[in-house]
Amino acid sequence: MPSSTSSSDPPKGIVEREGALPAGLRLTASDRPGQAQPVPTRDVPKQPWGRILLSVVIVLSASVAALEANARRIGLNAGDLDNSEVAWVKERIRSDTAQVAIVGDSRILFDTDLDRFEALTGIRPVQLAIHGTSALTLLEDAASNENFRGLLIVGLADTMFFQPFDGYGEYVRRRGDFTSPSGRVGIEIDHALQRRLAFLDSNHRLSVVAHRLDPDFRDGVEGPKHDIWKVSEVGENRATWLWPA
Provide the pLDDT for residue 19: 53
CA of residue 166 relative to chain centroid, distance: 24
pTM: 0.74
Domain layout of the chain by residue ranges: 85-214+222-242
- pLDDT tens per residue, range 209-229: 888 877 666 677 777 777 788
CA distances, 110 to each of 17, 94, 239 (Å): 63, 20, 8
Please state the rounded mean pLDDT for residues 11-29: 53
Closest by CA to 172, choosing from 212, 145, 150, is 145
Could you give the CA distance from residue 70 to residue 120 in angstroms, rounded to a whole number?
Answer: 38
Could you give the CA distance from residue 138 to residue 148 in angstroms, rounded to a whole number?
Answer: 13
Could you give the CA distance from residue 93 to residue 81 in angstroms, rounded to a whole number?
Answer: 18
CB 20 within 8 Å of CB 43: yes
On the CB side of 241, CA atoms within 13 Å amount to: 11
CA of residue 12 relative to chain centroid, distance: 47
- pLDDT tens per residue, range 71-95: 999 999 999 998 888 899 999 999 9
Evaluate the CA torsion angle 211, 87, 123, 78 in order and state its sign: negative
DSSP letter assigned to residue 17:
P
